Amino acid sequence: MASLFADLLTFFGISATPPQNLAELFPWLLAILVAVALFLFVFSIIKDFTHTFARGRF
């Protein structure tokens, strides 16, 4: 699971090294949250398309 998370971070261009202070923590966490939200959004769109095409409703 850690390797999948590291691959996701490198795909979105986020450094895998944790921040050193609090000023670096909030932008780093925000970037991770945006990346995960975008990742889940894309897969929900794919799920909706497959459900729509499986039912035969275009």
- Domain span holding position 33: 2-55
CB 37 within 8 A of CB 43: no
Q: How confident is the model at residue 57 (pLDDT cuts 50, 70, 90)?
A: low
How many domains are contained in the chain? 1
Q: What is the pLDDT of residues 3-56, one digit of tens each?
A: 887 887 888 888 878 789 999 899 988 988 998 899 899 999 999 999 988 887
- The pLDDT value recorded for residue 12 is 80
- The pLDDT value recorded for residue 8 is 77
Helix and strand element counts for the chain (H, E):
2, 0
What backbone phi and psi angles, to 5 degrees, belong to 29?
-65, -40
Asked if pLDDT for residue 58 goes beyond 90, the answer is: no
